[in-house]
């Protein structure tokens, strides 16, 4: 069977353009989420058949993103920049991140901002997006409104207006803010390993982040089995801190409420069963 040429943007159906728009915004998606949110595969499959989109079969199921040629063609046709994601591991990680964010927003969380990996892996990301790639490092989430208001009441000196976005400083850098934890989500290679989580918590600057958020680090994982040792350790540290705060609460009634969280919260996002 002869290889089909790229499907021109002008010849795409409304549903096919909806798929293009969704991928322009999110970067990569699972096939099942596209079918759930936009429509059945048979009505937009020409995008796969003509290689506008690239499909990868991964442990998280079938995922898709723009092919290199498809990306160039759509950008030329629409004048809109599209994410540059080609490696299967990069694509499946983005699709997993998208699903993790959706899971949390369904629970009332908001998205404060998305932080992308830098080109050299060292420079902190800037507000203008320079020196960054299209690969997401982490997403800064905003706690549900009721939880934010509670934190603001407990920590008035650290409070940030609930519905006001956090703005960068004069250097283009964003401060860490009360109630705005980082969400990490990766599934390539089996997901975030125990050693990676250990290294994160062993970094003192990372540990300080949690004390600024006053809420746990968020980590999306398909299973908690390999992290149970870390969870037990964190639970023991949490119990010790709570005991100290209960003693302090004899003179300060709010003390026992200040750290009623553990440093790590797992967001369960399992692998598909079929």
Q: Which two tokens stand for residue 76?
A: 């030329």
Decide if pLDDT at 253 tops 90: no
Between 261 and 51, the higher pLDDT residue: 51
Calculate mean pLDDT across residues 248-264: 62
The distance of Cα 183 from the centroid of its chain, to the nearest Å, equals 5
Distances (CA, A) of 93 to 89, 191, 240, 245: 6, 9, 36, 39
Calculate mean pLDDT across residues 105-123: 86
Average pLDDT, the chain: 87
For residue 207, the model assigns a pLDDT of: 76
Q: Where are the domains of the chain?
A: 9-86, 93-232+263-268
Decide if pLDDT at 121 tops 90: no
> Taking the CA of residue 263 as centre, how many other CA atoms within 13 Å lie in the half-sphere pointing to its CB?
24
Query: How do residues 222-243 score in pLDDT, each as one tens digit?
Result: 988 878 777 676 666 656 655 5
Q: Is the dihedral of CA 73, 62, 99, 174 positive or negative?
A: negative
For residue 18, the model assigns a pLDDT of: 98
Please give the order of strands across the beta sheet that includes 53-58.
29-30, 61-66, 53-58
Give the model's confidence band at 203: pLDDT under 50 very low, under 70 low, under 90 confident, else very high.
confident
For residue 200, the model assigns a pLDDT of: 85
Answer yes or no: pTM beyond 0.85.
yes
Between 259 and 210, the higher pLDDT residue: 210
Query: How do residues 125-168 score in pLDDT, each as one tens digit?
Result: 555 555 789 999 999 999 999 999 999 998 898 999 998 999 99
Specify the CATH class of 9-86 in words.
mainly alpha
> Taking the CA of residue 254 as centre, how many other CA atoms within 13 Å lie in the half-sphere pointing to its CB?
8
For residue 108, the model assigns a pLDDT of: 97
For the beta carbon of residue 262, count every other beta carbon within 10 angstroms: 17
Q: Which two tokens stand for residue 17?
A: 């353009």
Decide if pLDDT at 245 tops 90: no
For residue 1, the model assigns a pLDDT of: 44
User: Of the candidates 154, 257, 157, 261, which has an alpha carbon nearest to the alpha carbon of residue 215?
Assistant: 261
CB 94 within 8 A of CB 136: yes
Q: Which two tokens stand for residue 149?
A: 């208001």
Calculate mean pLDDT across residues 73-89: 96
């Amino acid at each position: 069977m002869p290889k089909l040429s790229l499907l021109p943007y002008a010849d795409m159906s409304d549903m096919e353009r909806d798929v293009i728009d969704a991928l322009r915004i999110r970067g990569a998606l699972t096939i099942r989420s596209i079918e759930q949110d936009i429509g059945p595969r048979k009505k937009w499959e020409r995008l796969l058949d003509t290689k506008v989109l690239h499909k990868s079969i991964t442990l998280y199921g079938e995922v898709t993103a723009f092919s290199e040629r498809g990306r160039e063609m759509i950008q030329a046709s629409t004048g809109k920049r599209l994410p540059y994601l080609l490696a299967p591991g990069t694509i499946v990680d983005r699709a997993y991140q998208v699903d993790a964010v959706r899971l949390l927003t369904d629970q009332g969380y908001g998205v404060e901002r998305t932080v992308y990996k830098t080109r050299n892996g060292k420079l902190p990301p800037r507000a203008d997006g320079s020196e960054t790639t299209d690969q997401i490092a982490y997403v800064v989430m905003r706690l549900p409104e009721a939880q934010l208001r509670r934190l603001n009441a407990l920590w008035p000196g650290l409070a940030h207006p609930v519905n006001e976005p956090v703005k960068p400083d004069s250097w283009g850098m964003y401060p860490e803010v009360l109630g705005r934890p980082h969400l990490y989500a990766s599934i390539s290679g089996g997901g975030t390993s125990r050693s990676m989580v250990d290294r994160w918590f062993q970094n003192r600057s990372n540990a300080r982040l949690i004390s600024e958020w006053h809420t746990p680090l968020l980590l999306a994982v398909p299973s908690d089995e390999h992290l149970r040792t870390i969870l037990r350790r964190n639970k023991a540290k949490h119990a010790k801190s709570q005991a100290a705060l209960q003693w302090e609460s004899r003179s300060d009634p709010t003390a026992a409420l200040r750290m009623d969280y553990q440093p790590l919260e797992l967001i369960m996002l399992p692998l598909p069963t079929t």
